[in-house]
Amino acid sequence: MKEETKLHVQEDEKHLLLDHNYDGIQELNHPLPSWWAFLFYAFIGYAVIHFVYFQFLGGPSLRDEFKKEYAVVVAAQEEFKKQEGEFNPETYAKFNTPEHIKKGEEVYVTNCVACHLEKGRGDIGPNLTDEYWLWAKGTPETVYPIVFNGVVDNGMPNWSEVLSKEEIYQVVAYVQTLHLTHQPQGKAPQGNKVE
């Protein structure tokens, strides 16, 4: 193909053309753009200052910042436990309604089915539909602390770290609706029979 070989050089840059030529490529020698040069040196300067401050002049480390952040979270959690750790029958009554139970079912499906399977027939976790109980006694006031605090030895998580107060009451109310439904293909009974 035919090459167009004439080099385009603007009038205002002719004096900047260098005597370099590589395969027809020539070079101008424009000065560094001033904004570019400014930012170039500014960032190098910033790099030095930043490094010295954080490594030698006592700037906070990531771990320091984490400790501060985490302390606030732990305090908030403890406050929550203090306020909501005890079962409150009045609160429960408020949540023991069909529409809250429906929400409770959603909470159950998202969080509990992995171990207790749908409708509480039990798998990794115990069957919730028979009259046998490992820790609770089948009543809301005995199920509540198990959900709230978990059972470390059995792998039941501490749901107070995950679920809100509303969600815990809702799911406890929902689990009550499963009690004594004796779902088909349920897990074999575990624990003590509660009359």
Partner 1 sequence: MNSAVTHRGGKLERFSYDDQIVRLFIIATVIWGVVAMLLGVTIAFQLADWHVNFGLKWLTFGRLRPLHTNAAIFAFCGNAIFAGIYYSHQRLLKARLFNDMLSKIHFWGWQLIIVLAAVTLPFGITTGKEYAELEWPIDILITVIWVVFAVNFFGTIIRRRERHIYVAIWFYIATIITVAVLHIINSLEIPVSMTKSYSIYAGVQDALVQWWYGHNAVAFFLTTPFLGLMYYFVPKAANRPVYSYRLSIIHFWSLVFIYIWAGPHHLLYTTLPEWVQTLGMVFSLALWMPSWGGMINGLLTLRGVWDKVRTDPVLKFMALALTFYGMSTFEGPLLSIKSVSAIAHFTDWIPGHVHSGTIGWNYLLITAILYYMVPRLWNSKIYSLRLANIQFWTATIGLVLYIVSMWVAGITQSLMWRAMDASGKLVYPNFIETVIKIVPMYWVRAIGGTLVLTSLIIMVYNLYKTAKTGSISSEPVLEAYALDDSSVEHGASAHRKLEGWPMIFAVLSLLAILVGSAIEIVPAVLSKSFIVKMDVVKPYTPLELIGRDIYIREGCYLCHSQTVRPMAHEVLRYGKASEAAEFVYDHPFQWGSKRTGPDLARVGQKYPNMWHYRHMYDPREVTAGSIMPNYKWLFTDKADYQSIMKKMNVMKTLGVPYTQEEIAGSFAAAKAQAEIIKDDLVAAGVPAAILDKEIIPLIAYLQRIGVDYGKSEAQQ
Residues of this chain that bind partner 1 (CB under 8 A): 1, 4-10, 13, 17-18, 20-33, 36, 39-40, 43-44, 46-48, 50-51, 54-55, 61-63, 66, 69-70, 72-77, 79-80, 109-111, 113-115, 123-124, 155, 160-165
- The contacts of residue 91 (CB under 8 Å, 6+ apart) are 165, 169
Strand-pairing partners, residue 192, are 133
| Residue 42 vs 93, nearer CB to partner 1 | 42
Shortest distance in whole angstroms from residue 151 CB to partner 1: 13
Shortest distance in whole angstroms from residue 50 CB to partner 1: 5
Shortest distance in whole angstroms from residue 152 CB to partner 1: 11
Tell me the C-alpha distance between 136 and 159, whole Å: 15
> What token pair was written down for 125?
């976790």
| Residue 93 vs 114, nearer CB to partner 1 | 114
| Residue 76 vs 93, nearer CB to partner 1 | 76
Distances (CA, A) of 153 to 138, 150, 157, 163: 20, 9, 10, 20
Shortest distance in whole angstroms from residue 7 CB to partner 1: 6
| Residue 23 vs 195, nearer CB to partner 1 | 23
Q: Which of 81, 62, 61, 84 is nearest to 73 (CA)?
A: 81
Q: What does the chain come to in residues? A: 195
